[in-house]
Structure 1
Amino acid sequence: MKENELSYQARVHHLVQLIKESGKTVALTGAGASTESGIPDFRSQDSGLWNQVDPQKSVSIRALKKDPQSFYRFNFQWWDVCLQAKPNACHHSLARLEEQGWLLGVITQNIDGLHQRAGSQRVWEVHGHLRSCHCLHCGRMFDLARLKVEYHCTCGGLLRPDVVLFGDAMPEDYYTAEQVLSGCQLLLVIGSSLQVQPVAGLPRLARRVVIINHDPTPWDESAELVFRESAGQVLADVVKQLGNNTGPYYTG
């Protein structure tokens, strides 16, 4: 019997054993980690945001420069959802795993900041974040809230959010994440379709991969375990089974 044909409880037990045996465990999270907080995902087969709009026309640097007013009107519809959301069991469980020393940190494709709000200390935001914006002309930084009332800098330059838009280069956090994965023995891929490059290639840097995602991913066949269940449920059960034990990164 293949590991992924085992019962849910058997797979959770195996995952706990993999975490205990791993000297370096990292999490990689995508939009599916935040859907339980009410934030829509992007690529699910039924309700993904990119099934409804063309991101090149609505969430690209080209769209911003062409029509800033339309760009911000559209994007604040879901940015506001992100900013008002609260961490769910997935975020809290990952923060707990880090606190207990079982998890080095979280590499996230999400821009919602929910990992930090849940208490995670080591987070690499490979698609940026919604905390700030900056001027494309002079580089001056502002709080993101400024974009609600004005999308030009005091110098007259156009302001852009500190998120990775279609057409952008990857931020420094992405290259740091590649370094973080050096020697990674176990990568927990949570709520990511693993379809967006270059992040989709990160699992190749880990010795073992576990997938927790409702929809299939390109890495399912080579993964040690695959869960189609709720990420919040799986990770909460992992935390429960680990109990008060501490891992290799525990600092007390």
Structure 2
Amino acid sequence: MSNEPGAPTAPMAPLDPSIRAVLSNLSTASITMALLKSGLRNVWIRGARSIEPDYPRVVGRAFTLRFVPAREDLATPESLSSARSTRGAMDVIPEGCIAVADAMGITDAGIFGDILCARMKYRGAAALVTDGAVRDLDGVRKTGLPTWCNGVAAPPSVTGLTFVGWQEPIGCGGVAIFPDDVIVLDADGAVVIPNSLVDQVVKTAPHAEVFEAWVLQRVEEGRKLMGLYPPSDETIEEFQAWQRERS
């Protein structure tokens, strides 16, 4: 397994630049609607909020990290220097990925601080997202690593959690996330796109965003919502005519 002590991490498939470009222009709200139409309702990571108000949207493949409840014989200061540790994971984290850490929603221990975030930034990670807390908040901000988390806590991770591995399926904020799934982060939070559905979202969601922008214009002009949103057949025809005029 890739998360065995001393074992190399399996290569992460790069995210196609054209896909990254499309997703970078899609809100997480639009993505959740596109996934809902595919039958997926549980894709928004609960509790993950950005520590800065003006982060740009971030897109990347998930590099998963998993914690379990602290056990005193394992969660020790000495464990931080073992091969199976957050330090070991940070030394193999791939460029361009988003670190997604399952901390089980525990927020009274900080799972990452400024040093680990600085290492992620140096390795080229795009962002960190977790349902847990971070520590050394001022230092984390100074690293420049975009971070979405569920709070801030001074105590180190070993006071409440035991790190057990990376690049395996996790549950973060109540959402199932697998390595290489695609994560999108913005002001509304963190959303996961299953790897098998990325192409479908890229194909359908931009059209939906254009339609909603058109609907907003009609609302600002005073149109009633009934028959407009959701659209009636007449509204669809009107929108299509508007598109033809623009093309």
Q: Please give the TM-score of this superposition, normalised by the length of structure 2.
A: 0.29
Is the radius of gyration larger for structure 1 or structure 2? 2
Structure number with the higher helix fraction is: 1
